[in-house]
Chains A and B, each alone.
Chain A
Amino acid sequence: MEKIKYEKPVITKITAGIPNKFGLPAKQKIVSQIDGIAVDKLMDEYGSPVFVISEKTIRETYREARRAFETRYPKVQFAWSYKTNYLDAVCSIFHDEGSWAEVVSGFEFEKALSLGVKGTQILFNGPEKSEADLTLAINHNACIHIDHFDELYLLIETTRKIGKKARVAIRINMDTGIYPMWDRFGFNYENGEAWNAINRIMLAENLDLIGLHTHIGTYIMSTSAYAVAASKLSNLYMATHRKFNHWLKYIDLGGGFASKNTLKGAYMPGSETCPSFDEYAEAISNAIISSEIPHENLPVLFLETGRALIDDAGYLLTTVLANKRSVAGRRTMVIDAGVNLLFTSFWYNLGVYPTKEVAEYLEDTTIYGPLCMNIDVVRDAINFPHVKTGDRLVIERVGAYNMTQWMQFITFRPNVVLIDMEKKTHIIRKKEELGSIQNFEVNPKR
């Protein structure tokens, strides 16, 4: 007979009050395997903590998104947002599925080129583009999305210097009825700045204006905001045609689709409240198709969705280091992955799950990371079962931003493992070691 698992006794105050409106607590979800591979096996092999990425989830999510748009709109093209996750292996999967590249720096541009993406299939966004970056982009005939007038002037100057034409679009910000309104990137629609920019670009000799771009915000839970954005861009698209007899080639609605993660402060879980790809697609394609644009001249629709395509595919496997009680008697727990690896834990209430059957009793718990810094809190408050030191946990939906915004702080960054379509595992980024950090340091001789 198996030994019954020991659990520390806990004394809790009985709180008689209104019961939780959702009724009894649901059964604790257990994540013991990813794509059919046991978490224990992955951690035995690749250590703890370790990021795991599922190729199957990436491909399926991408195809779902594509189907949602392509069955509603004739010309759709996704561009993979590098900043969301620019691990070579991840980008390559998206490119293999037909995605282009959306980059926001010279570094990302070069990374995309190194992965074999054609220059013409790179959308170059962002407020920071040096003359060298612009030269690189022009020489590769990329689509440069101009962010501000000073960039426009620099671009005109650069094209003159190298004597080549540049394919450009402009980034436009606008009021789509949501808060906050992002007005720091691009040219404003309502005050006429965007129209002014279009006019100047159309008259510039070395610039070929081919598109309009907007990115209304991030984690947008209202599809109507996209409809507003799409119809405002359609208006500019038609206005450009009327004045210059020039059909632009595309409308780029950027990213910002919410993933299934739950934002901090949200009342309901994200998986319940976030719109599906179908809902976003319906709003956007309806807005463009029902605009004034004749159907023969409909622009290509670009989408730079990052988060919603990759978040679900990423997992962080971690180990419990310690269980503690705070002075106030609150249960706290230390795990071996902290905010150094989980930048998104500042925004989301990440889902943390045990990997083995646990007792039904849940207790409000704070989960700390391993860093010797007060900010290292993975979850402020989570109803969590009792787990013991050395137990393994899985943090879900960490594919977006964490593997780009992570910090080499206090400790090394761990292995990143990919589970491919044949359920084989590959290290796609090796765990750092002392040399990987010291190699870049120079210690002046004394």
Chain B
Amino acid sequence: MKSYPLTGKEILNSILNSYSQVFFSTSKLLAVLLVLISFFDYGAGIGGLLAILIANLLAWSLGYNRYFLVSGIYGFNALLVGLGIGLFYQPSPELFLLVVVAAVTCFFLTVVFQGILGKYGLPFLSVPFLISVWIVALSRGDLSALHLSERGIFTYNELYALGGRTFVSLYDFLETSISSSFLKIYFHSLGAVFFQTHLLAGIIIAAGLLIYSRITFVLSFLGYTVAWLFYRITGIEFNSLGYTFIGFNYILTAIALGGYYLVPGRVSFAWIVLLLPAVVLITTATQQFFIQFKISPYSLPFNMVVLMFLYALKLREQRPRKLVETPVQLGNPEKNLYLYSGNLKRFPAAYPVSASLPFFGEWTVNQAHNGEHTHKGAWRHAWDFVITDRTGSQFKGSGDFAEDYYCFGKAVLSPFDGVVAEVVNNIHDNRIGDINTANNWGNTIIIKHNDYLYAKLSHLKYQSVEVKTDDVVKKGQLLARCGNSGRSPYPHLHFQFQVTPFIGSATLDYPFGHYLLKDASGFVMKNFEFPQNKQVVANPAKNETLAKALHFIPGQKIAVDFQADSAKKYWKNLGGRCFWVVETDVYNNTYIRSEKDGSIAYLYNNGDLHYFTNFTGKKNSALYWFFISMFKIPLGFQPNSNIDDSLPVNLMFGGITKFLQDFVAPVFLFLKAGYRLTMKEAGDILSADDIEMNVSISQKVAGREIRKIESEIRINTDSEIQIYTKFNDVKISLKCQNQPESY
């Protein structure tokens, strides 16, 4: 088997990330601190590093996923195994042989559990470590050539060996100045994650966590505090917490569930408070059980609770608004939160189906969700649509006949691609004012969009359905005609989403993907929102210039002329010519990468809307400004209408304000960066013309505007994009041109 070569940087990253992955991070600083701590005990340090090397070497030579390898996913369990064994026995060649064997075992367990749990969308956490370390621990009685380590008993001796007198006195100082046993145990528990018994190790880890992520730090403390209180209240012998150093189960659980696998927020924090007592109970229970075998349960409680809770959350039928699983794992709770809270509706992961309105032209919502007439109870998430004229009337003439109603007989379309699941076509239309409660829904079509999302269109016209069960339909395809059958006193279209394919199923609270809302000044573009009662809505038409220019194809190369002008020297040095390439990663994320500085802007385009999902790399680079000004652009757009959004806080703010914001972010955001796009010129229905748009970004601290960024975007029919940005005294101009392949 031929293995791909790794660069030196990748090898270094694969090692360092294996350390920080223990705290779900890829922070290099945290990694360096952790490496340092692990070498407090050189046996353990060497053991850990050796195990990582073995695991990563196996992953590389056997051709496993390069991305996982470099991000330390394959290494961190092996690291824990190496640390654990290394600490347990005296350093010797036999010990390192044992570490190698255990690391190999652990690596394959990692791959196997990644495969099995991955199918359920679950992480494998430290399950491979648990099994490996138990295997070694259970067989330790027979490993007679290995000698038990005596470290951990003579703390001062070890400290002296490590750092001489200074270390000893530092340790003494810490021991005496941190008098509270509450704090001491917290640091001990943190250190215990890396099998360290020293207070110092815990303090260093805590500092590392604080620098890497404020939310993670807060969570580690919260998790520990809740557990500590529960111990106190229920009277579980307190010392055991300190003695066995299994306190980290609580810390890791809090970090994992409070902010990593779930988007951090009040609700995820509240669940930590509820869940941790359960972790405590599981800990004490498993301890009793494992004591039979003279082994420690290690992080078993953490693994059990996190896996079971995440799995349980995945089985929810309704799209969650609270306690949302992190849609795109950015490896940092702050980033996850800011990206998500900016506009949770922006995420394709939250709403996989982007439904369009099921009709042509402008219709009026006659009854929205939780309507006053029939949209109640289990059927509350539904819409009724009618057509009204300029006076607001739904009919012409007397309104005594179905034919008088504007909507009667109008085309009803498929909201999204799917398969017809159910068709009723033979119920007669009612006379006006009459209702048919025997066949409540009248003529109905149900379309399956995916396993948990069906659309139901009801009260259709008698014998007007043009599709049959199992037909494959495309978005916008004609299905039937609007009618007056079933419980319908006058013609209207009833529309709802549901999770099951039956007529009469309860409704699902699910939005329309893209629509135009008519208001006094024109139209407002709405994305993944819910039309309200009396609103007039219509489908947007696609603009070809925009669709073409914003369709970034992997392999595409873009030449960029970037100029920045300001009195400050910093800005003047930013300019220059550079190249961007469009690429796709293993998760099918398309992104634009700057060849100059490696900055990456992740983007998403579902055919209705272009938006950037995330930016990593150099702030104020050309790509950064491209990202900011082109953050969200609908492909179908009416001139002189707006679209609003907000930019991720972490990309728009820095320094101390952002540091402070991080602490309270799950509860409250006082930093905001509003984004508003206004379309000026957009060509016409026939010919795609040059596009002109304005973008206004307003940065606010606690409601007070501190900076306003104004951009002007021009896109011509050759997909040339020009952006002029102004704020304070800074002027930035960006000119992006597609580079021909042969160039």
Question: Which A residues fall within an 8 A CB radius of B?
Answer: 60, 63-64, 67, 69-75, 77, 100, 118, 120-121, 141, 143, 167, 210, 249-250, 278, 282, 285, 289-290, 295-296, 300
Contacts and interface: CB of A to CB of B under 8 A. Distances in A.
Contacts of B360: 70-74
Interface stretch (B125-133, B470-478, B660-668): B470-478
B686 A249 contact: yes
Contact of B359 (A71, A210, A300): A71
Given A70-B362, A72-B361, 11 more contacts: A69-B361, A71-B410, A72-B410, A72-B411, A74-B360, A74-B539, A74-B541, A118-B684, A282-B409, A289-B478, A296-B474
Q: What are the 4 closest A-B residue pairs judged by CB atoms, nearest first?
A: A71-B361, A70-B361, A77-B685, A74-B360
A143 B686 contact: yes
Contact of A60 (B390, B478, B684, B687): B390
Interface in B629-644: none
A408 B319 CA distance: 73
Nearest to B482: A71
12 contacts: A67-B389, A70-B362, A71-B360, A72-B360, A72-B410, A72-B411, A77-B686, A120-B684, A120-B687, A120-B689, A250-B686, A295-B474
Interface in B74-119: none
Nearest to A68: B406
B261 interface: no
A69 B359 CA distance: 12
Contacts of B474: 295-296
B256 interface: no
A155 B409 CA distance: 44
User: In the complex, which range does the number of interface residues on chain B fall in?
Assistant: 20 to 34
A288 B387 CA distance: 22
Nearest to A60: B390
Nearest to A70: B361
Contacts of A141: 687
Nearest to A121: B684
B298 interface: no
Given A70-B360, A70-B362, A71-B360, A64 B389 contact: yes
Contacts of B523: none
Interface string B321-362: 000000000000000000000000000000000000001111
B541 A75 contact: yes
Contacts of A210: 686
B363 interface: yes
A278 B362 CA distance: 15
A75 B685 contact: yes
Contacts of A249: 686
Nearest to B410: A71
A191 to B, nearest CB: 29
B686 A300 contact: yes
Contacts of A250: 686
Contacts of B361: 67, 69-72
A358 to B, nearest CB: 30
B411 A289 contact: yes
B641 to A, nearest CB: 14
Contacts of B406: 67, 71, 278
B685 A300 contact: yes
Contacts of B689: 120
Nearest to A282: B409
B352 to A, nearest CB: 21
A71 B686 contact: no
Contacts of A75: 541, 685
A56 to B, nearest CB: 11
Given A67-B361, A72-B360, A295-B478, A120 B686 contact: yes
Contacts of B389: 64, 67
A250 B685 CA distance: 10
A250 B686 CA distance: 8
Nearest to A63: B390
A74 B476 contact: yes
Contacts of A73: 360
B686 A295 contact: no
B350 to A, nearest CB: 26
A51 to B, nearest CB: 25
Interface string B405-439: 01101110000000000000000000000000000
Contacts of B362: 67, 70-71
A78 to B, nearest CB: 11
A290 B411 CA distance: 11
Interface string B531-566: 000000001010000000000000000000000000
B742 to A, nearest CB: 24
A71 B387 contact: yes
Contacts of A290: 478
Interface in B278-311: none
A143 B687 CA distance: 10
A120 to B, nearest CB: 5
A247 B389 CA distance: 34
Contacts of B407: 71
Contacts of B686: 77, 120, 143, 210, 249-250, 300
Nearest to A73: B360
Contacts of A285: 411
A64 B361 CA distance: 12
Contacts of B684: 77, 100, 118, 120-121
A160 B473 CA distance: 46
Contacts of A121: 684
A273 B387 CA distance: 25
Interface in B475-499: 476-478
B459 to A, nearest CB: 17
Contacts of A296: 474, 476
Nearest to A120: B687
Most chain A C-beta atoms within 10 Å of own C-beta, residue among B359, B360, B390:
B360
A72 B481 CA distance: 10
Nearest to A249: B686
Contacts of B359: 71
A63 B359 CA distance: 18
Contacts of B476: 74, 295-296
Nearest to B466: A290
Contacts of A143: 686
A285 B7 CA distance: 62
Most chain A C-beta atoms within 10 Å of own C-beta, residue among B359, B361, B477:
B361
Contacts of A63: 390
A409 to B, nearest CB: 40
Nearest to A64: B389
A77 B541 CA distance: 13
A295 B360 CA distance: 12
Contacts of A64: 389
A278 B397 CA distance: 13
Contacts of B687: 120, 141, 167
Contacts of B411: 72, 285, 289
A75 B542 CA distance: 10
A282 B409 CA distance: 9
B616 to A, nearest CB: 36
A210 to B, nearest CB: 7
A70 B518 CA distance: 15
Nearest to B473: A295
Nearest to A298: B476
A118 B539 CA distance: 25
A77 B685 CA distance: 8
Contacts of B390: 60, 63
A69 B406 CA distance: 11
A295 B409 contact: no
Most chain A C-beta atoms within 10 Å of own C-beta, residue among B359, B539, B684:
B684
A71 B405 CA distance: 12
A100 B685 CA distance: 11
A400 to B, nearest CB: 22
A70 B389 CA distance: 13
Nearest to A294: B474
A285 B387 CA distance: 17
Nearest to B477: A295
Contacts of B541: 74-75
